[in-house]
Chains A and B, each alone.
Chain A
Amino acid sequence: MSLSLKAKVSSNEPVGPEIYLLSLEAPAIADAARPGQFVMLRVSPGPEPLLARPFSIHGADGGKLLILYQVKGKGTKLLTQACPGSELLTWGPLGRGFDLTAERPLLVAGGMGVAPIAFAIEYLCNKFDEVRLLCGVAGTVRHEALIKLFAGRLGSARVKIRYSSEDGSIGRKGLVTDLLKEHFSTSQPLKPDTVLACGPLPMLKAVALLCAEFEVACQTSLEAPMACGVGACLGCAIPAAGGGYLRACQEGPVMEASLVDWEKI
């Protein structure tokens, strides 16, 4: 059940250049949240900026809702100023999350795409002795915070992380899809049965194509400009494979890659 409430900010700290970790006291939302779902956050109560912003849920811990965000525009810039004790109008949890019933899931994250993937990893660690993550970053300088975060929050011995970096400063030089292709080619007969992916759109598109080529199911977490988050405004239209559109907020944000028209998106 989704609900709307004024959530008190517990902490809102920079964890790296332009990257913040926000913790909100929202037990009713945190308890109901599932990996891949999102919340709408109103960064200012006034008319400017007018609309709430969608944020993927990074974690839910003891009644706290964790949001990992990058400063991108005026909304996220304002959000960095939210002090502990202040209240933010929040509604959720919203949308369809990841289907975590796969037998051999493989997680793929690109940059900030790790925000919801981390939540999925926590769930999967309760189920499997080993959880595999392929993680693409720009490099150790640009994404040091994310790498540290993996070491911290995802530091369980159960999480096996392989990195790719665009500048070669960590892991394999190149894109995360290079890692994925290699993984598919070398992991027989224990090839993953499902890929769970979040990251920039070009990455998701490449991941979806690779998964189709290797006949592996693929769930992609998508984003789109969104006003209401509850399925009413119809703003967050994602072109559907069969024609027409799907709503990122209702039929997504996590969608089977086969349902999406990757040419039109």
Chain B
Amino acid sequence: MSPATDMAVTVGGVRLANPVLAASGTFGYGREYSPYLEPGAIGGLVTKGVSLQPRAGNPPPRIVETACGMLNAIGLANVGLDEFLAHKLPWLTEQPGAVVVNLYGESVGEFAELAQRLGAQPGVDALELNVSCPNVKEGGMAFGCHPGAVGEVTAAAVAGAQGKPVWVKLTPNVSDPAPMALAAAQAGAQAVSLINTLLAMAIDAGTRRPKLANVVGGLSGPAIKPVGLRMVWQVASALKAEHPTVDVVGLGGIMSGIDAAEYLIAGAKAVQVGTASFTDPAAAGRIAAELAAYCTEQGVSAAELSGSLRV
């Protein structure tokens, strides 16, 4: 094994210098974290979800800390597509690393339009469809809980994306995520990313009020890692049997390089670091370095580690 372990991977049609991406909704539009990360420290980022129109988001309180985790009910607040294209994407395009744009529509037509306009951008490497947000009334998780709806949204986005790879971000709020992954794969997705947050709530016993204005929100952080690992393993196993060219991007509670390695072992080709960036703005870069150190120590490349679970 050479000292320079090969960390590069190709996942969902995108070549990454290393398998660590920053997760959507936790990394803004990238620039927010530029003071804290060395350029090129991570394989790339997934942007905050972009919708056709700007969205103000939910009333506060929007976040609350829980045991080894946190809940959020942001409500997909974002600057909207026009502002994203004019003022967020140009900076991102100049940075090293892949740019995956997470997008969110309230209808199949909106997903198609977003995919078309974003797919036409040379600086965009892939699209990630958010069919799994638990915090919005229209669209969101409603699309992600039925294989038929996942397939329909995916097919519309793939048709609009002009050859740009389409990834589909899946919700854990189903009894079995594999049928959603298979539907996405069948409809032309090149990767699925999972898990989004777990629908949850927190209550203040003193006031008997919910701690979030939205009452319910999405649980993230180290508390959810075992759920994420289980679902990544289930989905990776199902895809391997039926759609072996479709990749899995794993996320949920990754706080260290070892956590990232566990997701790769479970079958993910790449990982996303989310809530960890809130707890340490340099977390994603640190995790990429720790993962490389682990691979060197184990004498495996990142690609070899993927799906190497011994069962």
Contacts and interface: CB of A to CB of B under 8 A. Distances in A.
Question: Do A and B come together as binding partners?
Answer: yes
Interface of A: 1-4, 42, 47-52, 89, 91, 224-239, 243-245, 264
Interface string B50-76: 000000111111111101111010100
B36 A3 contact: yes
B74 A233 contact: yes
Interface in B5-51: 25-28, 32-33, 35-36, 48
A230 B32 contact: yes
Interface stretch (B96-104, B125-133, B231-239, B277-285): B277-285
Given A3-B36, A237-B57, A239-B59, A230 B281 contact: yes
Contacts of A89: 280
B74 A235 contact: yes
Interface in B260-310: 275, 277-282
A51 B70 contact: yes
B221 interface: yes
Given A232-B32, A233-B63, A239-B60, 6 more contacts: A3-B35, A48-B68, A224-B61, A227-B275, A232-B48, A236-B60
Contacts of B92: none
A72 to B, nearest CB: 13
Give the interface SS of chain A, mostly helix, strand, loop or mixed. Answer: loop
A4 B36 contact: yes
Contacts of A236: 60
B62 A235 contact: yes
Question: Which interface residue of B60, B61, B68, B222 has the most chain A CB atoms within 10 A?
Answer: B60
A242 to B, nearest CB: 11
Given A48-B67, A235-B63, A237-B62, A2 B74 contact: no
Contact of B60 (A42, A225, A244): A225
Given A1-B35, A47-B221, A235 B72 contact: yes
Nearest to A52: B279
10 contacts: A4-B281, A50-B222, A51-B278, A225-B60, A226-B63, A227-B275, A232-B32, A233-B278, A234-B74, A243-B56
Contacts of B67: 48
Given A224-B60, A232-B28, A49 B65 contact: yes
Contacts of A264: 59
Given A1-B35, A50-B70, A91-B36, A225 B61 contact: yes
A234 B70 contact: no
Contact of B278 (A2, A227, A237): A227
B226 to A, nearest CB: 13
B141 interface: no
Contact of B68 (A1, A50, A231, A239): A50
Nearest to B36: A4
Contacts of A47: 68, 221-222, 255
Give the top 5 A-B pairs by smallest Cβ distance, nearest first.
Answer: A235-B63, A232-B28, A227-B278, A244-B56, A228-B278
A123 B237 CA distance: 62
Question: Which interface residue of B63, B67, B277 has the most chain A CB atoms within 10 A?
Answer: B63
A237 B212 CA distance: 12
B159 interface: no
Contacts of A231: 28, 32
Question: Which interface residue of A51, A236, A244 has the most chain B CB atoms within 10 A?
Answer: A51
Nearest to A228: B278
B77 interface: yes
A225 B63 contact: yes
A243 B77 CA distance: 13
A50 B279 contact: yes
Contacts of B277: 228, 232
A230 to B, nearest CB: 5
A5 to B, nearest CB: 10
Contacts of A226: 63
A226 B61 CA distance: 10
Nearest to A91: B281
Contacts of B32: 228, 230-232
A232 B69 CA distance: 17
B5 to A, nearest CB: 26
Contacts of A42: 279-280
